[in-house]
Every structure is written in structure tokens, then in C-alpha cells.
Structure 1
Amino acid sequence: MSQTRKKNPSDGETKLQTSFVNKFLKGSKLRSSESESRKESNDLNTTDFQPGDGTQKTATVDTAKPLALEMDLGSRLEKNEQFLQKLGTKAVDRRLDLNNCRLTTADVREMVALLPFVPDLEELDVSWNDFVGGTLHLITQQMHHVSKLKILRLGSCRLTTDDVRALGEALKAIPELEELNLSWNNKVGGNLPLILQEFQEGSKIQTLELVDCALTSEDGAFVGQLLPVLQNLEVLDLSINRNIGRSLHSIAQGLKSTSNLKVLKLHSCGLSQKSVKLLDAAFGHLNELRKLDLSCNKELGGGFEDSAAQLATLEHLEVLDLHQCSLTAGDVVSLTQVIPLLSSLQELDLSANKKMGSSSENLLSRLRFLPALKTLLINNCALQSETFRALAEASIHLPALEIFNLSWNKCVGGNLNLLLETLKLSTSLQVLRLSSCSLVTEDVALLASVIQTGHLAKLRKLDLSYNDSICDTGWAVFCQNMWLLKELTELDISLRPSAFRDCGQWFRHLLCAVTKLPEITEIGMKRWILPASQEEELECFGQDHRSSVHFDRGGFQ
């Protein structure tokens, strides 16, 4: 029979303290060194009966080795905790977030030493740390210790070609990976197959972000061939890779096999008119798509004229971003038939398409059929009086509207009254931007009256900047009523870069209102000139009331 050594009183003092790991991983168990030392300790604490000559042999209990291992492990865990404290971060459950922590090469080595002690780690983010570049192999060599990793973010780490190669090999060790972000690493371009070649049939990858990676047309073709393998893919972001457009045929073909895709971002990818036709053929296979971003593709204009039919089949689409796409009058006509059918649409961005100004009346009037719309961005579209009137009439039927941007449309000036009913009925409106709209005194007086009657109560951000035609009387009336916007956090009344103007007596009303706004943090007042007396008032305000409110008064040369 076996004999068991009695517990020594000193064991309680030398018992390994794992508070750091417990804080890091709730319910997880230490692997590697700790489990080995415990196993070794248990083996040594028990004497085994050895059959043979009938004589019982008692093993000598040697406690020095396991105790030394435990003390060494405790020391390393303490150092790991100090490492996180030094970086101003902390471990949370199964997540290690070192994003933008200014890691040095020494820090990277310390982090690598931490990995063997967190076998249940599921998320690792070291993005925006330049010194990761050139040292990634130190991390990838330890990937087998964190085989349960689901999220790996390496955005803007200045990865080298060697890093990219090492990462490709390391991905074999983390088969559970669901999200990979390599954005803003230009050495990924031309080397993408080295990284993603390990993705095989049955891959669990759901999110793949490759923003601004200098991808080549060959990389794009590789992505197209890879997509049919990624059956679980939900998010694909290839934005700011201007050569992608050349291989869009391959990508579009691959997209036909990604029926679970929910987000597709091709912002600034060099798309052309032909690209729209290729994508439209794929849209019929993307039944689950929620977000589509084709913005900042200036050669795309004209592509929707004959190729937008399948866009209407995206019945679950919630976000459509077409800003700065050089949309033509023909595009607008085609989109007029499609956009009103997207009944789930919550965000529509048509901004910076100046040719819409004279041709979008029908499209804007039919926005009334999108009752779920929360964000409408139509700034800098050169709207004309009739198109603005159509938009104003349609906006009355958008009860869920939270963000409304009309900036840089001069026709709004003197015609804000067309939006009167919208402003009164918009109980959800949080952001209203009317910058550079040629507003006049009557417009801000109207806005003040709407506020005075208790409307716009949810407004958080209001942009009235670059409207230099508003006289002091208008600003006075507005400032006397703005204290009713209890949820307001940001207000911008800055002047144009070329304009400088003395503040009137309305500045006192502004300061008075700010004292009654509990959430306000930012007030833009660029190029307003304060006389000495008002400078003194502002200084006293900062001392006596809300020093946390920032008055941005830059713009002087």
C-alpha cells in the first residue's frame, strides 16, 4: 500500500499565487510549466508500491525541485502583471489588448514570455505598435501556446516581409481563428498568398481586414480564388487598395460563393464602370449582406446606369455608402428605381456627388419609403431649390432619423423653413450638420424657435460653422435658447478660414447657456475675435464653472 506525506505547514506560505492569471482568465487552468510542476509534485508526494520481492519501498520525498519551479513561475507571473501595469493596460478575461501601447522590442519580448501562461487566450491585439515590425517571429514562434486564439489584430505594425512569412506559418497553429486584421501594413501587398495559403476548406475565419495593404492585382486574384473556401466569412474589407479594381472579375466570381457575407468594403479600390456590372452579378448571391461600401471610387460614375438591378435583391442591406463616386444623372435615375426598395436601409451616404444637384429630385422624394433610415448624408451634393424641397418633404416621413448632414449645399440658406416640420417631428435627431449652407439670420431664428418649443431635445452635435451671413442678432437669439438642448455635447459656430469677426454681446448669452448644459464638452469658435473684456469673461468662466469645456478658437495666423 502507498504512503502519503503529510502537508508541511510551510506549504501554505510557498503555495503558488495565481491571482494575475485568475484575473486574466476566469475559470481557466494553467498549462505548461505550472501543470507540469504540479504533476511532478504529486508524483513526488506519493510513494508507490513496487511488487516483486514482497518488500515495501518508500521513495525519498525531494521537495526542492517543485518548490523552485513554483517560485520561479510565481516570479514570472508577477513580472507579467508588472508588464501590463507599465503599459497602462490590464488583462480582461480571455482578451489581451495592447493596441497603441507604444511597445518597444523589449516589451514584445516580455509579452512573448506571457503567452505560455495564457493557454485559453482568445483575443490578441497589438495594432499600432511600430516595433512589432521585425519582431513578429518572436510572437509567432509561441502561437502554439495560444491555439484557442480567435481574434488576431496586427494593424499598422510595420510588418516586414519576414514577418509576413512567419505569420503564414504560424496560422497553422491557431485553427480556431475567426478574425484577422493586417490593415495598414504595406508589405502584405505582393505577399498575401504567403499568409493566407493555410486557409483551407472548413476555415472558421469570419472577418478578414486588409485595408491599405498595397495589395497587387495578383493579390486580388488570389483573394477571388480563396473566397469559395471561406464559407464562414462575414466581413471582407479590402479598402484603399487601388489595384484591386484590376482583379475585380476574380473577386466578384469568388463573392458568389460567400453566401454568409454581411459586410463588403471596397472603399477607394480603383473601381470602374465595368466593376459595377461585375459586382451586380454577385449581389444576387449575397442574400445576407448588411453593409456595402463602394465609396471614393471616382471612376465608378456611370456604372449604375445599366447595372443596378441586383442591388435591389439585398433585402437585408442596412448601410449603403456611395459618397464621392462621381455619380451621373443616369446613375441617379437607375438608383431611383433601386434604393427605395431597400426597406431595411438605416444609413445612406450619397455625399460629394455634385452631379446629383440637378437630377436627384425623384430619388430624394422617394426616400420616404425608407422608414428605418437613421443616417442620411447628402452634404456637398450641389442641391438646387427643387431637389432640396423634395428632400425636405421626404424627410418628414423619416421618424428614425438620427444623423442628418446637409452641409455645403448653398440652397439651404434662406430656405431652412422647408425643414420646419421635419425638425419638429424628429424626436430621434442627434446630429444636425448645416456647415457652409449660406444660412441667414432668419434661419437661425427659426432654429431657435424650434428649440424654444421643446423640439430637438435629443440633439447632441450641431454644426453651424462657415455661415458668415448670420448677424449678431441671430446669434444672440440662438444662444439665448440653446440652453434647452440639455444633451448637446458639441457646437461649432466657426467662421470661414478667410473671415475674422468681433464677437458681439451674444457671447455672454453663449457662456450663460453653457453653464446650463451638463453634457457640453466642445465649442468651435475659430476666427471669432474676443475683445479684452470678453477674454476676461472666458477666463473667469474656465475657473469658476466648467473648465472641462473646450473652446476651440484656433485659425488665427
Structure 2
Amino acid sequence: MSQTQKKNSSDGETKPRTSFVNKFLRGSKFMSSKAENGKESNDLETTDFQPSNDTQKTAALDTAQPLASEVELGSRMEKNEPFPRKLGTTAVDRCLDLNNCRLTAADVREAGEALEMIPDLEELNLSWNSEVGGNLPLILRKFQEGSKIQTLELVDCGLTSEDGAFVGQLLPMMQNLEVLDLSINRNIGASLNSIAQGLKSTSNLKVLKLHSCGLSQESVRLLDAAFRYLCELKKLDLSCNRELGGGFEDSSAQLATLECLEVLDLHQCSLTADDVASLTQVVPLLSSLQELDLSANKRMGSSSEHLLSRLRFLPTLKSLLINSCALETETFTALAEASTYLPALEIFDLSWNKCVGGNLKLLLETLKFLASLRVLRLSSCALVTEDVALLASVIHTGHLAKLQTLDLSYNDSICDAGWAVFCQNVRFLKELTELDISLRPSASRDCGQWFRHLLCAVAKLSKITEIGMKRWILPTAQEEELEHFHQDHRRSIHFDLGEFQ
């Protein structure tokens, strides 16, 4: 379940509340150790820009159902016993996930005593429970004497600045902490001084997420002072902090000391030209970097030539998201040249950069040699017929063989002849599961004869399940062809034609 879905769930659009006991019985059976569940940290929601679908994946809630006898037992216990005792009777010992449980104020108050009954707790997730805000010291008081806690997730808990200050005071007592997620708590930016001081004592920290936390330029300076103590940090998420722009100008030197950093997310941070100049000196030194997200920083477009050209020094980079950055021809050229030195690249998102249109040929060598590429997104790039013809020729020659997702949506300037050439060659993408050629919301067009080529190609693609074709209108004859296709092939392929069909 994505975080956006969880958010919707917390607004009251989900099934009736499951008893705490049932949740705990389920959790203790399937989530008792980190090794068994392989749990990963939640990805973070994006807001008002055109997003990539490839940001790091969210943790899935365990859907296993308890035995009938356990359900009955839980039901009886919920009616007759207080919350701390209900928690104490379960086998929860290391991992407690109360994510999106609609905790009431009373539940939150009782949880402070209940947590004291779990001395070996290693993972605690209280995310998406707004009543946690203002009560955090009461809930986490047991940790003031030290703890074995390794993962603490408090996403969208309505934390106050006082809660943030308490977290800062608590961090030195959490010597085993490896994952800290305080995302979508917009008031804790005011207490970042305390949090940053506390981070200096968490040398084992591997994941730090402060997405949408009201961080400012001053926050960057405070965090940068703490980075030198976080030698094990692998993932840093500072995204969707719009007031952060300008903070990297003179405060990024210690970022370069994060030699183990694998993921850096700075999307929608209002990065300035001076920020980019500073990051140009730092990012190429992050030799372990595998994922870089600079999306939705439109002010960096004309000033990022040197930063993008130096990405060639990151040979292990697997994911590069640079959509909605207002790139210009010179910066795109620098990026295209650098990308030929990124052999491990698997995810490449250039969407919403109009300069790509008519210039896709600059990526020709990259597209030929990115043997590992799985996701290519070129949505709303002002592509022209020449661009898709070039892409078709690359596909025809056997390149992009591992491509699974191809997004060419919102490129309305491609003529029917261009789509025909592309559709005739898409059959060579044997691993393709998702293709999107939708038109932008303001447009609609009749499908040309290329639709028949598309159906023939899809018939040869055994793994494809989703084809986005929103706002393309199928004449009656082509509707019948699609119906016959479904009858003949009996495969679960969704043609998303949107509202026009």
C-alpha cells in the first residue's frame, strides 16, 4: 500500500477498524523479526508536480489473516480488557506495526504503558496516526532509559515542535537506531536544531527520511554539521521541503563524507543555481550512490550543466530521476554525454523537459549501451516523429531488451506515420509490461491504422499487462478489432482508453 493510499485510508475510507489484538496476533506471527519479513522503509508521497512512478518502493502491510480461534479470542479480549493488557497477551516481541490503525487519544495514552511490556522491541511504526502528535513523550518514555530499537517510523503523526525536540533528546539513548522516518510532520522543522544534535549520537543510522518536514535553509546547515557523524548512512531523503532552496550554497561540505550513501532524494526542494554549484562539488564524490532524485527543481534547469556532466563519476548509479527540471539544450547535451558512462542505469526519467523533443538523437549512444535499463520515461517531452522513429530503430536492433516500462505519453506532436513505425517495432521489447502513449488531457485524436500494428505487436509480448491510450478514440472498426483481440488471446491486458470509450 502506498503512502498516499494510507493517507486516504486514515481519512475514513477503509474497512471498519480491526481490533488491536487481531493486528498484534497477525503482526507477531509474520513480523517477529526483521530477517523474516524483509520490511523496507516507506516511500514518500509527492505533491503538486508530475511525479515519477519509480521512486524507491513502499513497505507492504502483511495481509495474512489470523486463525478463526485467534479472531474470536481477540474479539473477546478487546471487549473486556484495557489496551496495555491486550498488547501484553500477544506474542509481539520485536516488531510492532501500528501504522494507520486509527489510534484514538485514549489508545495513545495507554500505549505509553503498553510499550514497557516489550523489552526487546526493535521496530516501531506509529505512522499515519494523527493522535500521536503532542503525546510522543508519553508514548516513548520507556526509551529514555535506552532501548534496542532499530527502526522508528512516525510518518504523518501530526508531530509538534515539542515532539521534535523530544526526539532530539531521545536519539542519544537509541544507540542501535538504523532507520528514522519523521516524514510529513511539517512542524518539526522548528526543532531541527535539537534533532540534528541528537543525530550526532546515532552512528549506526542507515536511513534518514525528513520528507516534507518544513525544513529551511538553516536546516541544511544544521544537518550538514551532523553528517560527519553518520558514516553508515545509506539513504537520505530531504524531498518536498520547498523552503530548503538556497541552503546548500555554503552548507554541503560534510555531505561528501557520506561514503556509504546509496540514495539521495532532493526532489521538489526549490534548488537554486548556487545550490547546484555547491552540489556539483559534492555529488560526484558520493561513489556509492545508486539512486539520485533531483526532480521538480525547475530553477536548476539552466545552471545544472556542470553537475549533470559530472554524473559520469557515479558508475554504480541505477536510478536517475530528473523530470520537471526545465532542462535546456546545453544541460540536456551534458546529461546525454554523461549518461554513456552509467552502465548500471536501470531507471531513467526525463519527463516534462521539453528540450528533449527533436534532440533524442543525443541519447542514441546511451540507449544503445544501457543494457540494464528497465524503465524509460519521456512523458511530455515534446517528442516529434523523428524522435520515435529513432527510438524504433534502437529497439529494432535489439537494444533496450530488458525494458519493462516505457512512457511516451503527452507527446501529441507525433504523427500517425511515427506511431506506425514505433508500433511495428515495439514487438522486440520482449520484457515490456507497461506502455503508455496517452494524449494530454486537452487533446483527443482518432487512432490511425497504426493501432492494428500495435495489436499485432502486443500479441507477441507475453509479459505486457497495461497499455495507456487515454484520449485516443477508436472508430467502430477498431473497437471490433480490439474485441476480437481479447477473444482470441484470452490474456489479461488492460487497454486504458479513458473517458472517450
Does the alignment pair 1:309 with 2:286?
no
Match of 1:358, SS? helix
Q: Relative to structure 1, is the Cα distance of residues 126 and 461 closer, same or farther in structure 2, using a 3 angstrom cutoff?
A: closer
Select the residue among 17, 22, 25 that pairs with 1:111: 22
Task: Output the amino acid matched with 2:19.
Answer: V
Select the residue among 459, 463, 471 that pairs with 1:527: 471
- Contact 2:83 / 2:110 at 8 angstroms: preserved in 1? no
Select the residue among 150, 161, 166 that pairs with 2:105: 161
Partner of 1:232: 176
CA distance in 2, matches of 1:146, 1:369: 51
- Contact 2:30 / 2:62 at 8 angstroms: preserved in 1? no
Partner of 2:229: 285
Match of 1:142, SS? helix
CA distance in 1, matches of 2:358, 2:431: 27
Task: Output the amino acid matched with 1:338.
Answer: V
CA distance in 2, matches of 1:381, 1:126: 37
Q: CA deviation at 1:158?
A: 1.2
Partner of 1:472: 416
Partner of 2:216: 272
Encode CA deviations 1:234-281: one digit per residue, 9 max, x unaligned: 000000000010000000000000000000000000000000000000
- Contact 2:458 / 2:464 at 8 angstroms: preserved in 1? yes
Q: Relative to structure 1, is the Cα distance of residues 538 and 227 closer, same or farther in structure 2, using a 3 angstrom cutoff?
A: same
CA distance in 2, matches of 1:120, 1:452: 47
| Correspondence list, 1:193-342, <5 A | 193-342=137-286
CA distance in 1, matches of 2:319, 2:21: 45
| Correspondence list, 1:402-441, <5 A | 402-441=346-385
CA distance in 1, matches of 2:162, 2:342: 44
Q: CA deviation at 1:546?
A: 4.0
Match of 1:491, SS? strand
CA distance in 1, matches of 2:472, 2:314: 40
CA distance in 1, matches of 2:409, 2:416: 14
Q: Relative to structure 1, is the Cα distance of residues 358 and 111 closer, same or farther in structure 2, using a 3 angstrom cutoff?
A: closer
Partner of 1:451: 395
Match of 1:311, SS? helix
Encode CA deviations 1:168-190: one digit per residue, 9 max, x unaligned: 11111111111111111100000
Taking only the aligned residue pairs, the percentage that are identical comes to 75
Q: Relative to structure 1, is the Cα distance of residues 177 and 191 closer, same or farther in structure 2, using a 3 angstrom cutoff?
A: same
Equivalenced residue count is: 452
Partner of 2:87: 143
Q: CA deviation at 1:101?
A: 13
Q: CA deviation at 1:555?
A: 4.0
Q: CA deviation at 1:104?
A: 4.8
Partner of 1:92: none
- Contact 1:238 / 1:266 at 8 angstroms: preserved in 2? yes
Q: CA deviation at 1:114?
A: 6.1
| Gap regions ≥5 residues in structure 1 | 1-99
CA distance in 2, matches of 1:431, 1:529: 27
CA distance in 2, matches of 1:225, 1:102: 36
- Contact 1:119 / 1:146 at 8 angstroms: preserved in 2? no
TM-score, normalised via structure 2 length: 0.86
Q: Which has the higher contact order (CA 8 A, sep 6+)?
A: 2
| Correspondence list, 1:304-383, <5 A | 304-383=248-327
Does the alignment pair 1:516 with 2:464?
no
Q: Relative to structure 1, is the Cα distance of residues 448 and 109 closer, same or farther in structure 2, using a 3 angstrom cutoff?
A: closer
Task: Output the amino acid matched with 2:385.
Answer: T
Root-mean-square deviation over aligned CA pairs: 2.6
Partner of 2:429: 485
Partner of 2:448: 504
Q: CA deviation at 1:542?
A: 1.2
Select the residue among 131, 151, 156 that pairs with 1:187: 131
CA distance in 2, matches of 1:112, 1:438: 49
Q: Relative to structure 1, is the Cα distance of residues 521 and 118 closer, same or farther in structure 2, using a 3 angstrom cutoff?
A: closer
Task: Output the amino acid matched with 1:554.
Answer: G
Does the alignment pair 1:541 with 2:452?
no
Q: Relative to structure 1, is the Cα distance of residues 311 and 553 closer, same or farther in structure 2, using a 3 angstrom cutoff?
A: same
CA distance in 2, matches of 1:278, 1:438: 41
Q: CA deviation at 1:540?
A: 1.1
Q: CA deviation at 1:421?
A: 0.3
> Higher Cα Rg: structure 1 or 2?
1
Task: Output the amino acid matched with 1:166.
Answer: E
- Contact 2:136 / 2:163 at 8 angstroms: preserved in 1? yes
- Contact 2:24 / 2:87 at 8 angstroms: preserved in 1? no
